[in-house]
Structure 1
Amino acid sequence: MSVTVSDNAESIWVFGYGSLTWKPGISYSSKHYGYIKGFKRRFWQGNTTHRGTPEQPGRVATLVPDSTTILWGVAYELKGKEQIQAGMENLTNREMRLGGYTTYVIDFYRRESHEYPIPTVVYTATPDSHLWMGPHNSLDQMALQIVTSHGTAGANSDYVTKLADFTRKYIPEETDEHLFLLDKKIRTLLATRHNVHKPSEKMNSKHLRPAKVHSEMVSIEKPFCIAKRISHNDEACDRTVLEPRVEMQRDE
């Protein structure tokens, strides 16, 4: 389905539940936290540009019908012909041409005014999308796929962790167990990969600091004294000289 915006429209609302929440990328006149009814968020849409490649697709959020739930997010109000045109052109390219989404109009309920819903454009994917991936066999495998995928906008893992961080901070009403559990699994994998790739603690020349000079003095026999001692002619020889003791220190 494609939403057509009238040239005479004074304003239009767009609802974000994925990267649009923390990275809208458009100019807008106002921003409101709130929710839509009858949908849940799932990372079932593939992505081969911003968060993945054709060889290693990433996963991004989409809406899945569920009459028992509400989904929190952010709605942006675009006002005036110029702002509406620029914003919708940007989103059409980002969400539809590159993202494989389609558009619907859904009622949005603002946090501060539950009684009066606002018709809002939302971008979502369906199984008809050429990038549709659907559910994974397990959330662990989904997390692994996300951790190993990257696109032009950065790591696929950032897409999920930044969405989770934003939601915790600004939308504490949200109780999306799917999002928060996936976020936890991704962070665990990232921590494990970081520890596996930490430099070895084995001592080598990089671990040695410049020689440390001690104040303690040690006796060292002069080379020419050794020769005189061997020839039994060492009466006038001062066999020792005081030198500072030197040690190489391991860089902890």
Structure 2
Amino acid sequence: MIPDNDLPSPLWVFGYGSLLWNPGFEVAEERLARLDGYHRAFCMSSIHHRGTEERPGLVLALDAEKDASCQGVALRVMPGQEPEVLAALRERELISSAYFEAVVTLHAEGHAPFLALAYVIDREHVQYCGGLTLERQAEIIAHAHGGRGPNTEYLFNTADHLAELGIADPDLAWLAARLRNEA
């Protein structure tokens, strides 16, 4: 965990998955933003929120890749609510230590680069599962269900919200279309 005094001020959080459609906190400002050096990928086994230890699901993570970039949304936390928001985000995102906190530089049209908090996959963690084919991802997502509901719900909500924002993610669009056709 990053010490609170090393976090950016104002506090921005980078949303690229469920934070896009369920931030869990009051958002003071929202900006479409790009993070360089990472891509959005279903590369984390979910044993709590969207799967179980017996039947893990998949959730999205920021996976480091030299020439990649990830489009998402920067979410500014309401001033004065930072301690409560951080506590809730840490409880939600750091449930199994597969993610780690990182301060990253975001780029948004019409704004100077700015710092934000992001949750990034730890490639050394046992839940890291990068490199799965899209077909294998679809098989896992189709059958997983965890404490926050079906894995397909997570996929559909994220893919739909990305489309609403005008953010193209061909892999998520393919997965969503593939699994909607099975329903």
TM-score, normalization by structure 1? 0.67
> 1:126 is matched with which residue?
122
- Correspondent of 2:162 among 159, 167, 184: 167
Encode CA deviations 1:128-187: one digit per residue, 9 max, x unaligned.
223222222x321210110100011111011111111101111x1x33222222222222
> 1:157 is matched with which residue?
152
1:27 positional shift: 2.3
Give SS of 1:120's match: strand
| C-alpha distance in structure 1 between counterparts of 2:18 and 2:140, whole Å | 18
1:42 positional shift: 0.8
Encode CA deviations 1:23-72: one digit per residue, 9 max, x unaligned.
10112322222111121111010111110111111100111223333211
CA contact (8 A) 1:11 1:84 kept: no
Structure 1 stretch displaced more, 123-132 or 13-22: 123-132
CA contact (8 A) 1:110 1:117 kept: yes
* 2:179 is the alignment partner of 1:186: yes
Name structure 1 gaps, 5 residues minimum.
Answer: 192-252
1:9 positional shift: 7.1
How many residue pairs end up in the alignment? 183
* 2:29 is the alignment partner of 1:30: yes
Give SS of 1:111's match: coil
Structure 1 stretch displaced more, 72-81 or 100-109: 72-81
- Correspondent of 1:94 among 92, 95, 110: 92
| C-alpha distance in structure 2 between counterparts of 1:103 and 1:182, whole Å | 27
Give SS of 2:130's match: coil
Give SS of 2:72's match: strand
CA contact (8 A) 1:35 1:109 kept: yes
| C-alpha distance in structure 1 between counterparts of 2:30 and 2:113, whole Å | 15
Give SS of 1:161's match: helix
| C-alpha distance in structure 2 between counterparts of 1:55 and 1:33, whole Å | 37
| C-alpha distance in structure 2 between counterparts of 1:52 and 1:183, whole Å | 18
CA contact (8 A) 2:162 2:169 kept: no
- Correspondent of 1:108 among 106, 109, 127: 106
Q: 1:66 to 1:175 in 2, by over 3 A?
A: farther
Name structure 2 gaps, 5 residues minimum.
Answer: none
CA contact (8 A) 1:101 1:124 kept: yes
Tell me which of the two structures has the higher relative contact order, counting C-alpha pairs closer than 8 angstroms and 6 or more residues apart.
2
Divergent runs of 4+, >6 A? none
| C-alpha distance in structure 2 between counterparts of 1:8 and 1:87, whole Å | 13
Structure 1 stretch displaced more, 154-163 or 125-134: 125-134
Give SS of 2:19's match: helix
* 2:131 is the alignment partner of 1:135: yes
Q: 1:161 to 1:4 in 2, by over 3 A?
A: same
After TM superposition, the structure 1 = structure 2 runs for residues 198-217 of structure 1, keeping only pairs within 5 Å, are none
* 2:65 is the alignment partner of 1:50: no
Give SS of 1:97's match: coil
Larger-Rg structure: 1
1:10 positional shift: 5.1
Amino acid at match of 1:175: A
| C-alpha distance in structure 2 between counterparts of 1:46 and 1:13, whole Å | 26
* 2:170 is the alignment partner of 1:177: yes
